[in-house]
Structure formats: C-alpha cells, structure tokens
Chain A
Amino acid sequence: MNAKVADRVATGVFIVIAFIIVSVLIGLFSFILYHGFQHVSLKFLTTPSSNMSAGGGIRDQLFNSFYVLFITMLITVPLGVGGGVYMAEYARPGRITNIIRSCIEVLASLPSIVIGLFGLLMFVTLTGWGYTILGGALALTVFNLPVMVRVTEDAIHSVPRDLKEASLALGITHWHTIKTILLPSAFPTILTGGILAAGRVFGEAAALLFTAGLSTPRLDYTDWNPFSQISPLNIFRPAETLAVHIWSINTQGLIPDVDAVSNGSAAVLILSVLLFNLLARWIGSLIHKKVTATK
C-alpha cells in the first residue's frame, strides 16, 4: 500500500469514527428528549415529588441539584485553583512533588461509590450531621478537587513563559504575576475544567446516595433563612438530587408513573447540564474578552 492510498484510508477511517460519535450523541439526545418531553411541563417542574400517587413533579430535586452543585463548586474551585497554583508555581520539581501528583491522580480515579461510602463515614457518621447537603458537597469535592488541581496546573504551565518573564522583569512580585498575568491567561482552560467538574457533579448519584440522602424535607421557598429547617437554602438538610431521584424511583419507586417521571427527569437533567455549559462558557468568554481587550 503506498503512502497516498494509506493517507486516503486514514482520512476515511477518521471520518467514519467522527460519524459514529456524532450519531451516537444525536441518537442518545433525541431518544431521551423525545421520551422525556412528553412528560415535561411547567407543572412537572413546579410540583414536589410524590411517594405514592401519580402526578408528582421534580421541583425540589431540580433545586437540590443546582444547590448541591453551587455548594460543591464554592468549596472545590478555590481549593482546586489554589492547589493547582501551588503545584505549578511553588512546588519544587522533585520526588515529593511527583508523589503528590500521583496521589492526586489516584484520587481522581476512585470509583464514586467508594467516595460515597467514605463520605458516609466521614461527613455523615463521624461529624454526626446525618444526611446533609454539606456532606454531599464535601463528598463530591473529594473527587472533583483532583480534577480541578490538575486542570489548573496544566493551564498555568501552558501560559507562555515569556509573559511570566516579562512581568517579573518589570519588578512585579511572583504573587502579583500569578494574579494579574498567569491566572487571567489560564482562565479559559480553568473554566473548561470547572465546567467538566460541574457536569460530573450534576450527574453524580452514587456518591450522594449515602451523603446527601434519598429524601427532601417539606420545603418552603419563601423562607430564605439558611438556618431554618424548612428553608431550601439550609445546607444541613437532606437533599435528593435529580440524578439520585431517577435512580431511586427506578429501583424502589412505588408511584405508578415511574416511567413518565424518570423519562421527564432525564430530559430535564440533560437540558440543565447543556444550559449550564452554555451559560458558563458565555459568561467565561465575556470575562475573558474584558480582560484581554478583544472584542
């Protein structure tokens, strides 16, 4: 086979692979959305779920998903970005740094059910909190933190070295260089990492089963006092997220319309991830444009 033929074959193979990926994606999306949207309505999104009778919605689960995501990112992003900056800029290259890096990678690849069990021991039993949003968020942090650290480290490493040199040569301190040059330049990559991490949080069920629980107390959305038991903002209450809800009604649901509710929930879940992605990217590009002065 000569080089020209080989080149044509390779091109063909890659086109086929791309085609397979795109059709799997489109097939999956349209299947879920087609089956789901028949059950999605404003009423579905705004009624609380029901344990026994048909016609329950997913109001609390949807809110819980976003709220757990928010609390998780609130913990993960500062710690993860800080850890990444340390690894990229302060840690001396050598054995200890390499050991830390391997540990981070192992942590990132732990099965989420194991992290769920760890969370049960640490954040539910040992602390005595019971099933809480905070416990769930901390468990999710355990497996998102390594991703965030790694992404930040790589993003900072990929900022051209001349920029750092230029800043230091102006008599700018290391910290100011990190703050004003390295982090803004690395921002788009860090944001992508953050979005990936957020997507994982949104879809995670196993790690939340034993930490945030399978139930939600009766909530009053007019109560904004985060210390009140019935306030949705209370982080010391149990919270079933959308992904957990889909799992639980399918395995132990007593409602007659299990299929309808889980199909609808799946569609809402996918759309939420999609919307969150687009929104985060849009805001990210606005910030990036403002910093880099590009229009």
Chain B
Amino acid sequence: MVLTYTNEIFDINDLNLWYADHHALKSIHFPIIKKEVTAIIGPSGCGKSTFIKTLNLMIKMVPNVKMSGEINYNGKNILNSKMDLVELRKNVGMVFQKGNPFPQSIFDNVAYGPRIHGITKRKHLEEIVIKALMDVALWDEVKDRLNAPALGLSGGQQQRLCIARALATKPDVILMDEPTSALDPISTLAIEELILELKEKYTIVIVTHNMQQAARVSDKTAFFLMGELIELDETSKIFSKPEDERTEGYITGRFG
C-alpha cells in the first residue's frame, strides 16, 4: 500500500502522536494530493479527528500532546519548532463540526481574517468578502443584509459562512472536520455540492462519519482504525474492492 505521487501538497511520514500515555496515531504515512478531495473515515475514537487537526497544528491546543515524525507541507516539515503557525493556518484553513460564526455581522465574520492579516482598505475587503460569499453560494442569500448578525442565519448558512470565512484568508488547503454532522439533509447536500466545486481551486481533506458522503464527494478515501491508517486508495476502489478485510468490514457495516 505504498502510493507515490509527484503533486503532493502534504506528505506525512511516520507520524506518531500521544495524548499523555495514549498512543493515538501510530506511524502514519499519508500523501495528500493537490486539488483532490481526501475523505477520512473510521469509527469513533480511531484518530481521524486527531489526524486532521495535526495538519494545521490545531492539535497543539490540547495539553500534553507529543508528536514525532514528519508532516511536510509543500516540502517544509511543519513539526519543526520554527514553523510559523500564523502562516501555516492562513494557508491551511479549517471548518469545524458545528458552524461557529463569531457574534458579529456577516460581513465582519468573513472580513475578520483578512482584516487582522493586514488588509485595511474597505474596498479591498469588500472584494474579498463578496468573492468568498460567492464561492460558497451564499452571496444571493445574504447580499441585502451583510450587516445583520451572523448568528441569525440558519445552520446550513452558518456553516457555509464559516467556509467563506476560511476562504477569505486565501488558503490552498481546507480541512473539514465532520462539516455536515449537525446539518439537515438539504443543507448537507448544499455543502457537498460546494465541496465538489471548491476542489477546482482547493485541496480538501474531510473527516466524515457518513460513508455515503465520502463516496459522493471524495477522490481518495482513507480508513483509520485504532490510531492506524489501515488503507488509503482511490475512493471507488475502497468502496468496491478494498484490500484489507477490516476496511471491508467497516464499509459493509459489520462494525463501527
């Protein structure tokens, strides 16, 4: 199961992670290809959320975390202590389980990142906000009320706003940690369609509990179990003839 590619944006080698004494990720090797959607599936507690949080080092917020190995992002190992977190997270955006807009206006939410990263001209900010909102297909719904509070939007709209907020800092990778688990089927569909559009321009890594979702949106699928990467392959292959019997057991619903 060794895959080699030339257009990798992330190249993860022998990544190990411990929460105090608990070995949560075990020697992970994982290439992530540019402008593809990579889905990560696996039962609860398998390490999939932990893994996605290592890619922008949000995992460092958890106390007592230790890591070893390499996470190469565009050829640079981000586990190197000299890594600039601000720069990394500008380029590797993240969308969370529940839409978590700031208690500010819709405009301010999207403008938040660029504004603090130094863009002050109103005109320029407006361009960024409009473009980000158009990219997530929210512009038509909110263009008349950009100054209304973001918390007044519906759950699905809030989640799309959060994606727009992540897009506004001009990342090249977007990490999504179960982005639709709190949404109704129609909003979920909207987000899935959005993912398919966004992959034209962005690399997307999505953690999901929903195997149909992984099958619908992703190019590659990775199956995690007990902190190990069991299988990583073309999505069509994982869901038709997986090589490992544990993968097969999981996707056919025998456990998990």
Using a CB–CB cutoff of 8 Å, the interface residues on chain A facing chain B are 93, 160, 162-163, 165-173, 176, 180-181, 184-185, 291-294
Contact = CB atoms under 8 A, between A and B. Distances in A.
Contacts of A168: 58, 61, 89
Interface stretch (B16-24, B91-99, B196-204, B219-227): B91-99
B134 interface: no
For the complex, would chain A's binding face be called helix, strand, loop or mixed by DSSP majority? helix
24 contacts: A93-B63, A163-B100, A163-B102, A165-B96, A166-B101, A166-B162, A166-B165, A167-B112, A168-B89, A169-B56, A169-B89, A169-B94, A170-B89, A170-B90, A170-B93, A170-B116, A170-B165, A170-B166, A171-B87, A172-B113, A173-B86, A293-B108, A293-B148, A293-B149
B85 interface: yes
Please give me the 8 A-B residue pairs with the lowest Cβ-Cβ distance, nearest first: A293-B105, A171-B89, A162-B100, A171-B90, A169-B94, A170-B113, A292-B103, A293-B149
A185 B58 contact: no
B130 interface: no
A162 B58 CA distance: 12
B102 A294 contact: no
Contact of A180 (B63, B101, B112): B112
A217 to B, nearest CB: 49
Nearest to A181: B102
Nearest to B103: A292
Contacts of A171: 85-91, 113, 117, 169
Nearest to B115: A180
Nearest to B165: A170
Contacts of A181: 102
Given A292-B149, A293-B149, A169 B93 contact: yes
B69 to A, nearest CB: 22
Contacts of B162: 166
The residue among B61, B89, B100, B147 with the most chain A CB atoms within 10 A of its own CB is B100
Given A168-B58, A172-B86, 12 more contacts: A163-B100, A169-B94, A170-B89, A170-B90, A170-B165, A171-B86, A172-B113, A291-B104, A292-B104, A292-B149, A292-B151, A293-B104
A169 B58 contact: yes
A176 B101 CA distance: 17
Contacts of A176: 116
Contacts of A293: 104-106, 108, 147-150
Most chain A CB within 10 A, of B58, B98, B103, is at B103
A57 B68 CA distance: 75
Contacts of B166: 169-170
Nearest to B146: A293
Quick one: which of B88, B104, B148, B165 has the most chain A CB within 10 A? Answer: B104
B90 A162 contact: no
Contacts of A291: 103-104
A180 to B, nearest CB: 7
Interface in B143-164: 147-151, 162
B3 to A, nearest CB: 28
Interface in B53-73: 56, 58, 61, 63
Nearest to B114: A170
A165 B56 CA distance: 12
A172 B162 CA distance: 15
Nearest to A180: B116
Interface string B181-215: 00000000000000000000000000000000000
Contacts of B63: 93
A180 B104 CA distance: 10
A284 to B, nearest CB: 15
A180 B101 CA distance: 13
A165 B100 contact: yes
